[in-house]
Chains A and B, each alone.
Chain A
Amino acid sequence: MSKQITFTIDGETCKAEEGTYILDAARKNNKYIPTLCNLEGIPPKGACRMCTVKINGKLVTSCTTRVTDGMQIESEDPGLDDLRKSILEMLFVEGNHLCPSCEKSGSCELQALAYRYRMTVPRYPFFFPRRNIDSTHPKIIKDHNRCILCKRCIRAIKDQNGKSIFAFLNRGHHTKIYVDPDLADKLTDELADRAVEICPVGAIMKRGDGFKDPIGERKYDKQPIGSELEQQL
């Protein structure tokens, strides 16, 4: 059995197994650290930077940094809050996130975090990029306007041989997700549902199935993001 270590998050003593990533250790101690790319049980990527915390004055991503004995982690302070808010604002201006007509609205992690961090008007100018919708796959539609390139779908949706069905195409700000043509038929209904579920935004949608959840019963209608952990305290 791994060694139990003790550390603090915002001054509160926490315990975890040695070698655990800070984000996972925080979850186990009912402490919420925001993230858009991390998924429990999937190797971390550090793509979105939302989980940035401060250790000895240094900024690190908590999903890719392992906790050590005696570590003092700062997660909630005005500076970090503003940093996370600025990341959200960059994500919003970089794509075309039009919540009013998006079927993920109410269940969208990006939107939910924007509410949590009280984002109103972004401090950065909107890019308004010209992006398209890829609806060539029979089970899903990919709306590149909404994709934040978190790589969740690439890391979590795999065929029976462990090969990623999704992949990145192009480079730089032309990067977009696509379904590997050789593996397209491996995307079963179950995997398609899972891809829609883990997408933190509305970039992957099930074809023909929009707006099934009525307002009031969507994921974040009743419970703000993070509160499932914070209510445990």
Chain B
Amino acid sequence: MAQKVTISPVTRVEGHGKVTIKLDDEGHVTQSRFHIVEFRGFERFVQGRPYWEAPVLVQRLCGICPVSHHLGAAKAVDMIVGAGAGDGLTPTGEKMRRLMHYGQILQSHALHFFHLTSPDLLLGIDADPAVRNVIGVARSPDYKDLAVQGVMMRKFGQEIIEATAGKKIHGTGAIPGGINKSLSLEERDRFLKGKDPLNADTMIDWAEAAVALFRDYHQKHREMIDGYSQFPSNHLSLVGRDGALDLYHGKLRAVDADGKKILNDVNYQDYLSHIAEEVRSWTYMKFPFLTNLGNEKGWYRVGPLARLNTCDFIPTPRAQKAFEEFKAYTGGKPDNMCMHTHWARLIEALFAAESIKELLEDPDLQGEDRVVKGTRQNEGIGLIEAPRGTLFHHYRVNEFDQIQMANLIVSTTNNNQAMNEAVGQVARREMDGQKTITEPMMNAVEVAIRAYDPCLSCATHALGKMPLEITLLNHNEEVVDRKSRHTNGVQQN
């Protein structure tokens, strides 16, 4: 008998989503979908607010990586105050923001790997759900110390955020044209020379050990990790001007599954010429794609895996060494193995820890020249690499400083098609032809989603564009009238 499997809610991800999988009479998967069932609407209610509120207001859509939205919006409003597109700030302004961002990357990646992913890898995808969680990891004699490291790395990252943004969650540090505080010497010394383990050197060591842990796990479970969910896709991210991994500012680059550049270091100010979004009726999350390839072939992945596939090198020594091993595994070609996202994420955590130390040693952080302003503009676009991938913030303001239009393309939205592909692939492998659907089978689907570290609460902002069809029937169930609205918001009779 045909049946429908529903996994709701998807657990150990940020936000609320569900998966539906339809099976036919023979038990074959005929349809799989990853639905986002919550709706936020920030793009609409930011309208009318003064532009300088955007970095503080919009970050409220997330409690996990608000810094990304804070800085994405700040980069956009930098343009509005005439402070340039991401590279016109004072050294103090830019470096304080970078420090905030790398604190954010470190804490978010630590949260994801240690709290959300490690239970699947260390305890097993088919482990008892009652212990398959971070508490289970902490109680396990083998991994107790690892769980503590995860918590402490997150704490260190959060304290960096507090020192730069004013609060661990939802701070106000980035303001139009710069930053509202410098780093005091006391704060700097606390992070550089703090009592173990809360200092930059220990964080670097622990991050490097986490990369080694994954590599070791990979060697023992190569077949599972490599073959878990693998499909060719495009990859998109910011890269630095020199091709380096840069999570704060740079050019937009996309490569295809073979590594060919399909977006060749373009200025992200032109993103609307390169990226479009499609709306589908069954989810609140949009489907972005590269316009030069169309919506069928133009979808792409973002996030740690994509970033290591697009960049040429990592500008910190220990992360670069790990990157070289990562690249060597696929012979320098893009890595399309979904579970390798965890590997890439840990290399990025190491990069973040090293970057934090480099920045802390820079005296510019104690500078007093924090804000620049120039000729006022009516439009601003900010791009940043959030922990989960490329994040677009775009605002248009009127002559009275009020926001008229906001467009957010959030990291998780960029991964929408990829997550759906992964769900379909794992569902077919695990469930096709099975007489009974078990909890481990459903968790296997969730594991594929979890690799993308989706933040569903950030990702749902379409308003007034949902495709909709209304049919009016009389008592004999005959169609009296039918109206539909297409994805462009246009109503048709």
Contacts and interface: CB of A to CB of B under 8 A. Distances in A.
B60 A135 contact: no
A41 interface: no
Given A210-B175, A214-B172, A101 B52 contact: no
B19 interface: no
Interface stretch (A52-60, A78-86, A191-199, A201-209): A201-209
Contact of B52 (A208, A213, A216): A208
Interface in A205-225: 205, 207-217
Chain A binding surface, main DSSP class: loop
A141 interface: yes
A210 B60 contact: no
B176 to A, nearest CB: 7
Contacts of B401: 135, 141, 207-208
Given A133-B402, A208-B401, A213 B50 contact: no
A212 B56 contact: no
Contacts of A100: 56-57, 60, 170
Interface in B153-201: 165-167, 170-173, 175-176, 180-181
A214 B180 contact: yes
A211 B59 CA distance: 14
Interface residues of B, number: 24
Interface string B197-236: 0000000000000000000000000000000000000000
Contacts of A217: 181
Interface string A104-132: 00000000000000000000000000001
B180 A213 contact: yes
A18 interface: no
Residue from A101, A135, A209 whose CB has the most chain B CB atoms within 10 Å: A101
A216 B55 CA distance: 18
A184 to B, nearest CB: 14
Given A133-B402, A135-B400, A136-B400, A211 B52 contact: yes
Category for how many chain A residues contact B: 20 to 34
A103 interface: yes
A129 to B, nearest CB: 14
A195 B53 CA distance: 20
Contacts of B55: 211
B50 A141 contact: yes
Contacts of A211: 52, 55-56, 172, 175, 180
Nearest to A221: B166
Contacts of B171: 215
B180 A209 contact: no
Interface of A: 100-101, 103, 132-133, 135-136, 141, 205, 207-217
Given A100-B170, A211-B172, A217-B181, 13 more contacts: A100-B57, A101-B49, A101-B60, A103-B52, A132-B48, A141-B401, A208-B81, A211-B180, A213-B180, A214-B166, A214-B172, A214-B173, A215-B171
6 contacts: A100-B170, A101-B57, A103-B53, A207-B50, A209-B52, A211-B52
